[in-house]
Amino acid sequence: MPVRDFIVLACAALWFGSLSAIGFIAVPQLFAHLGTPAAAGNMAAKLFSAQSWVSMGCGLLLLMAARRGSPPVIAPWAKGGLPFVAAGMLLALLLEHAVAPRIAARENLALWHSVGTALYALQWACALWVLWQVGRPRPQRPPPQ
């Protein structure tokens, strides 16, 4: 596997894996084991913020790797994956800069927590789709004669 393809696969896997680990393992464990919901919520906010920046970094690297060669050609995975990379990055930005401040300010907490959960789940689905596009086998073209 060429280095560029490995980097693309690693970025997609890191994005999906980090969303899964934070959202489905780390944060529930915080609420199960920390003394108060407030303490767990504060730590969860820090983890979600870090996750947003991981998502943005992975998305940026994926966007840069989508074009290859001279003249530039779109990578095969990018034809079905780029809209989901862009959507996932937009969702991460919305979570970090629109939803998280409202949750931290405890402004209509039930509503903003629900919105944040929905946006996180959509970002997770985008990352899963991108990982699927990057990792799926594609038929090899025969070399030119």
Residue 143 in this model has a pLDDT that exceeds 70: no
> Tokens at residue 59, please?
């998305």
Please state the domain extents for the chain: 3-134
Instruction: Write down the pTM of the prediction.
Output: 0.89
**What's the chain's Rg over C-alpha atoms?**
18
> Tokens at residue 120, please?
């996180």
pLDDT tens track for 55-98? 999 999 999 999 877 778 888 899 899 999 999 999 999 999 99
pLDDT tens track for 105-134? 999 999 999 999 999 999 999 999 999 999
Residue 39 in this model has a pLDDT that exceeds 80: yes
So what's the pLDDT on residue 91? 98
So what's the pLDDT on residue 3? 85
51 vs 22: CA distance, rounded Å: 8
So what's the pLDDT on residue 68? 76
So what's the pLDDT on residue 145? 67
For the stretch 53-62, what's the b/e string if a residue is b when 16 or more beta carbons lie within 10 angstroms of its beta carbon? ebbbebbebb
Q: Which residue spans within the chain are E strands per DSSP?
A: 67-68, 73-74
